[in-house]
């Protein structure tokens, strides 16, 4: 589902010179390790990071520390969280006089900061204005902004008149429209392709035109032959099946339109097609109406301006209270949770996705997975390793193991006891860089650095 994103005042701000420090060598000692595979936690472990990668993981008793030392006693180390379904803020329907979309870069950078602040080190944007997301992706890759890793589809692909048509490349005929796919590939260099395939039947919405399954198959084949994986927006069991048999590598949503059949659960366990969980997007409407006080939690206070939280609590809340959509989604959320839990229990591959654009929403997704009855260690796998599997990048990301990129989250409390402890963050590391929270351009204002300078040993110099 696409969110229309409010345009805010466009403040052109100068980019600060590279705020990302170069990676060093670190040893995290005597830490309890939750490696992301879903297996049991390992006490008293040592993890060595050299440059951007993890170079050693082993029992503290046999590991040789290198570089600066972080005392991990009483702390819990897990991989950085991955959100495989976002639509980054900053895009809008407004146009400049010369017809270019108005992009609120400050809003985009603040949202990216909010992910990092909340422990999310990778986001996958599956549909946005290319002017917004591709600029941020290149800034992130060049180290110009403090941001999680960004993987992006750029424009999504759809059939004319279908779901998300307003920000899509519209393909009606494969041979005739192939140059549009070639242009999308060359100009936007998608990390993953997103197709929408849905009558927009969620709740009481009208039937709309749908991409023929054969055309979807041709498009998927085209991108796969260029080495690019695909994700397909679906919301019903029937369309999910059709997308899988058309060759979809992943699904952008779980089934939400009704309870899944036993045979669908078996298929998802057998095929292991990863799907994004996206519970939060549907649940957030009734949550705001019934529990607006959630906006006073620390991660929300840091991630949103006071003015925006006030608007959410008043105008937005009143509008959502009146919409039948809010209450339909409230009814369907437990059904969707049960669908996800059944597939996970059978051995299918759920990957954390929110369909939103803030770090606290990603954390909320983990709470809803817990509400679905999934145990915390499995939720952590869904939020880490399975995200890497979704992207096809599990060789480089998703677990704390030797050779992988050092995207790490150090916690003050055990998230395998209570998933809410994943919010109790001691430090966030991205590619071997310790994130300094005081430098994040958060909409809620400057926050304190959580891991004090010099708290690592021997701590000869601050960076």
Tell me, by CB under 5 A, how many residues bind Zn ion.
2
Element (H, E) at 411: strand 408-411
Least spacing, CB of residue 354 vs Zn ion, in Å: 9
Least spacing, CB of residue 356 vs Zn ion, in Å: 9
Q: For Zn ion, which is the closer residue by CB, 1 or 380?
A: 1
Tell which residue, 393, 460, 286, has the closest CA to residue 36: 393
- The stretch near Zn ion (CB under 5 A) out of 91-99, 254-262, 264-272, 354-362 is 354-362
Least spacing, CB of residue 437 vs Zn ion, in Å: 28
Please state, in angstroms and as integers, the Cα–Cα distance from residue 57 to each residue in 32, 67, 72, 88, 413, following that order.
Answer: 12, 15, 13, 34, 21
Q: For Zn ion, which is the closer residue by CB, 32 or 277?
A: 277
d(CA 10, CA 267): 47
Please state, in angstroms and as integers, the Cα–Cα distance from residue 302 to each residue in 52, 295, 440, following that order.
Answer: 28, 10, 10
- The stretch near Zn ion (CB under 5 A) out of 117-125, 237-245, 320-328, 353-361 is 353-361
Q: Is 83 in the site for Zn ion (CB under 5 A)?
A: no
Q: For Zn ion, which is the closer residue by CB, 3 or 42?
A: 3
What is the DSSP secondary structure assignment for residue 46, as one 8-state letter?
A: E
Residues whose CB is less than 8 angstroms from the CB of residue 184 and which lie 6 or more positions away in sequence, other chains included: 154, 155, 157, 169, 190
Least spacing, CB of residue 289 vs Zn ion, in Å: 22
Least spacing, CB of residue 277 vs Zn ion, in Å: 12
Least spacing, CB of residue 282 vs Zn ion, in Å: 11
Least spacing, CB of residue 261 vs Zn ion, in Å: 24
d(CA 90, CA 328): 28
- For residue 264, the SS3 value is helix
- The stretch near Zn ion (CB under 5 A) out of 91-99, 222-230, 355-363, 433-441 is 355-363
- The stretch near Zn ion (CB under 5 A) out of 62-70, 90-98, 265-273, 349-357 is 349-357
Q: Which of 355, 365, 433, 456 binds Zn ion (CB under 5 A)?
A: 355
Residue nearest to Zn ion as judged by C-beta position: 355
- The stretch near Zn ion (CB under 5 A) out of 108-116, 347-355, 406-414, 441-449 is 347-355
- The stretch near Zn ion (CB under 5 A) out of 10-18, 24-32, 53-61, 351-359 is 351-359
d(CA 93, CA 129): 10
d(CA 360, CA 119): 9
Q: For Zn ion, which is the closer residue by CB, 192 or 302?
A: 192
d(CA 100, CA 169): 16
User: Within 13 Å and on the Cβ side, how many CA atoms surround 360?
Assistant: 16
d(CA 350, CA 220): 21
d(CA 405, CA 51): 9
Token pair 């906006």 in the structure block, residue: 295
Q: For Zn ion, which is the closer residue by CB, 163 or 423?
A: 163
d(CA 114, CA 121): 11
Least spacing, CB of residue 302 vs Zn ion, in Å: 24
d(CA 198, CA 237): 11
> Using CB under 5 A as the criterion, what x/- string covers residues 1-40 for binding Zn ion?
x---------------------------------------
Q: For Zn ion, which is the closer residue by CB, 1 or 427?
A: 1
Q: For Zn ion, which is the closer residue by CB, 274 or 431?
A: 274
Residues whose CB is less than 8 angstroms from the CB of residue 313 and which lie 6 or more positions away in sequence, other chains included: 288, 292, 295
- For residue 425, the SS3 value is strand
Residues of this chain, 371-430, that bind Zn ion according to CB under 5 A = none
Residue 463 in tokens: 């960076």
Least spacing, CB of residue 237 vs Zn ion, in Å: 19
Q: Is 198 in the site for Zn ion (CB under 5 A)?
A: no
Least spacing, CB of residue 1 vs Zn ion, in Å: 5
Least spacing, CB of residue 276 vs Zn ion, in Å: 8
Q: For Zn ion, which is the closer residue by CB, 20 or 152?
A: 152
Q: For Zn ion, which is the closer residue by CB, 1 or 410?
A: 1
C-alpha dihedral sign at 144, 150, 151, 157:
negative
Residues of this chain that interact with Zn ion (CB under 5 A) are 1, 355
């Amino acid at each position: 589902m696409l969110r229309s994103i409010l345009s805010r005042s466009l403040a052109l701000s100068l980019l600060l010179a590279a705020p990302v420090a170069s990676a060093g060598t670190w040893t995290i000692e005597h830490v309890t390790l939750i490696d992301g595979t879903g297996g049991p936690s390992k006490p008293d472990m040592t993890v060595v990071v050299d440059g951007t990668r993890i170079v050693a993981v082993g029992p503290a008793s046999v590991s040789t520390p290198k570089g600066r030392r972080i005392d991990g006693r009483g702390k819990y180390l897990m991989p950085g969280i991955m959100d495989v379904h976002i639509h980054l803020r900053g895009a809008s329907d407004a146009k400049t006089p010369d017809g270019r979309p108005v992009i609120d870069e400050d809003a985009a950078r603040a949202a990216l900061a909010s992910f990092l602040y909340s422990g999310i080190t990778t986001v996958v944007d599956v549909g946005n204005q290319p002017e917004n997301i591709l600029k941020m992706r290149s800034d992130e890759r060049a180290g110009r902004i403090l941001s999680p890793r960004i993987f992006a589809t750029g424009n999504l692909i759809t059939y004319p008149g279908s779901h998300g048509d307003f920000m899509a490349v519209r393909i009606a005929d494969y041979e005739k429209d192939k140059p549009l796919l070639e242009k999308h590939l060359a100009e936007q260099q998608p990390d993953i392709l997103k197709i929408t395939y849905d009558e927009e039947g969620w709740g009481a919405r009208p039937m709309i035109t749908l991409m023929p399954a054969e055309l979807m198959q041709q498009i998927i084949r085209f991108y796969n032959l260029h080495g690019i994986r695909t994700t397909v927006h679906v919301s019903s069991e029937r369309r999910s099946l059709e997308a899988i048999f058309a060759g979809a590598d992943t699904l952008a949503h779980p089934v939400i339109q009704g309870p899944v059949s036993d045979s669908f659960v078996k298929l998802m366990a057998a095929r292991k097609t990863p799907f994004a969980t996206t519970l939060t997007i549907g649940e957030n409407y009734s949550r705001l109406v019934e529990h607006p006080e959630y906006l006073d939690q620390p991660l929300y206070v840091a991630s949103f301006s006071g003015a925006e939280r006030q608007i959410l609590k008043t105008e937005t809340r009143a509008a959502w209270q009146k919409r039948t959509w809010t209450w339909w989604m409230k009814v369907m959320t437990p059904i969707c949770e049960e669908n996800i839990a059944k597939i996970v229990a059978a051995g299918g591959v759920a990957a954390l996705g929110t369909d939103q654009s803030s770090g606290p929403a990603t954390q909320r997704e983990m709470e809803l997975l817990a509400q679905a009855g999934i145990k915390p260690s499995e939720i952590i796998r869904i939020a880490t390793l399975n995200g890497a599997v979704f992207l096809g990048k599990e060789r480089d990301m998703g677990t704390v193991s030797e050779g992988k990129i050092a995207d790490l989250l150090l916690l003050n409390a055990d998230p395998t006891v209570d998933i809410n402890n994943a919010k109790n963050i001691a430090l966030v590391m991205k590619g071997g860089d310790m994130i300094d929270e005081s430098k994040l351009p958060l909409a809620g204002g400057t926050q304190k650095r959580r891991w004090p300078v010099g708290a690592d040993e021997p701590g000869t110099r601050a960076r």
